[in-house]
Structure 1
Amino acid sequence: MIPAHSLQNKTVMIPRGKAHAKSFSDLVKRNGGIPVEIPLIAFQPVKASEKLLKTLADLHTYNWIIFTSNVTVETFYSFLKKGQALLPKIAVIGEKTKEALVDMGEKVDFVPEEYVAEGFVDEFLPHVKQGERILIPKGNLARDYISAALMEKGAIINEVIIYETYLPEESKGKLVKMLTEESLDILTFTSPSTIDHFMKIVEEHNLGSKLEHCIVACIGPVSKRKAEQRGLKVHAMPEKYTVEEMLKSVANFMNIGG
């Protein structure tokens, strides 16, 4: 536990699935909170389409490949043949995404200072030449901000959907029960999709009044905008868009007496 950032024994909703929840839960415990894992988002690879198979066969024709999350990395590699190397230069958003690639033996050529699409584009554009071919593997709900900005610069973009995002069925009952009993103190959101899935359940069960005592935290400005659009008051958001910094921003909000 870090006294300066204590979560004061509060229950903290972890919106990630089992594969990605452990490190998040461990951080909550170390910061003095009680993690409650309620996966609001899960991922499944798409069926390998002709377009995807051709893209994988043509990797050597691209100048860059952009990975926006560790889920994208893991899913993309599940389609590759063992030993198949990524020949393009690699750009990522976020330290965790870089770590996932380094663990697979890859060299990452570009990591932005700011871990959101807007910051990535601002920093990455000087590295892009007109006519360069860039591959962006993505989920079915991902924004097209990066591809649109790079196409304006004259790059040739291939976006290929490699996974689908969905709300795990088993999470619905658990969330309804815990919100009804008001047993969640801190709600953390790591993406716009987690917010949409959460609010869909809240609205279906008329649980809006059960959120009034909760502290709401978002990992970055895109999620914060989505939360506010869906009627949530956001109390904490970090300057650096990582889970650890988000938890620190919550603790700081609490310690200031928010």
Structure 2
Amino acid sequence: MTEGLNGLRILITRAQSAAQSMIADIEKRGGQALIAPVMTFQSLALTDNAQQKLKELGQYQWVMWTSANGVRFFMEHLKHLGLSLPSHVQLAAVGKKTAKALEEYGYATDFIPREYTAKALAAGMREEERGRVLLPLGRLAKDDLSETLTRLGFISERLNVYDTLCNEAIRPLLHQLILENRMDVVTFASPSAVRFFLTLIQPLDTTLFWKHVIIACIGEVTAEEVKRHGLTAQIIPKQYTASALIQSIAHYRSSIQKPTRRNKS
């Protein structure tokens, strides 16, 4: 039996285009999805050195992506330069959503880790032949994956293909939602989302807001960012997917609504 959300008002901080499955799942369970994307994305101009890396794609053994945005902006750069991925280069994606983005461009993914994290992606390469790896990333992405691959003996090269910016246009809506007490749960899918959300809700006094609202995060890294700002994520699904996040929220709601059994006197 599907656990319900019973009118729970859940804020999604990612773009609506990337949150369609979350919205559908929330509404199917009887919840209300509130959309307030706290970030926007834009392509980064490539340096001559970065363009050269794309022209030398045939010299890489692997190309690895940690997000669907990384795939899309990488493909845009390839198209602009009149290039394509060589057939012998192996492709890795951090999860099914990223792999689906690759599929939309006609490419099959050679490796997806069981856990949808950069750490698991790197760990899955332990048995692979060492070689040259290209990592198309967003400018704000950490170097964890690159550093781990380097320690394993790979030649890891980072390529920043897009930038992540704070969506200032959504500030008035966020303030309205907070002042009208219209949120029960706030969801975050990345550390950047946490930072941008906190920036956008300034200079409101949010003391009572944080006492009332439940924080749900996709992944321990995002939850750690929440903790770094003095807050606590109550919900972190074991599987780092949007579907698992909504399921975990429903389970959390169900568990706190269960009546406690009184001791017999």
Number of the residue aligned with 2:98: 97
1:128 Cα deviation after fit: 4.2
Q: Does structure 2 conserve the Cα–Cα contact (< 8 Å) formed by 1:179 and 1:211?
A: no
SS of aligned partner of 1:204 = coil
Q: Identity rate of aligned residues, in percent?
A: 28
SS of aligned partner of 1:98 = helix
2:125, 2:173 → 1: CA distance? 41
Number of the residue aligned with 2:60: 62
1:247 Cα deviation after fit: 0.6
Number of the residue aligned with 2:213: 214
State the superposition RMSD in angstroms. 1.6
Which of 4, 7, 21 is equivalent to 1:6?
4
Counterpart residue type for residue 103 of structure 1: E
Number of the residue aligned with 2:69: 71
1:203 Cα deviation after fit: 4.5
1:235 Cα deviation after fit: 1.3
1:147, 1:185 → 2: CA distance? 37
Number of the residue aligned with 2:261: none
Which consecutive segments of 4 or more residues in structure 1 shift more than 4 A? none
1:209 Cα deviation after fit: 2.2
SS of aligned partner of 1:5 = coil
2:221, 2:169 → 1: CA distance? 27
Instruction: Return closer, same or farther for 1:128/1:186 CA change in 2, 3 Å cut-off.
Output: farther
Q: Point out the structure with max Rg over C-alpha.
A: 2
Counterpart residue type for residue 84 of structure 1: S
2:198, 2:49 → 1: CA distance? 34
Number of the residue aligned with 2:174: 175
Number of the residue aligned with 1:22: 20
Q: Does structure 2 conserve the Cα–Cα contact (< 8 Å) formed by 1:14 and 1:21?
A: yes
Q: Does structure 2 conserve the Cα–Cα contact (< 8 Å) formed by 1:180 and 1:207?
A: no
Question: Alignment length, in residue pairs?
Answer: 254
Counterpart residue type for residue 33 of structure 2: P
TM-score normalised per structure 1? 0.93
Q: Does structure 1 conserve the Cα–Cα contact (< 8 Å) formed by 2:21 and 2:243?
A: no
Counterpart residue type for residue 125 of structure 1: R
2:228, 2:202 → 1: CA distance? 14
2:94, 2:243 → 1: CA distance? 16
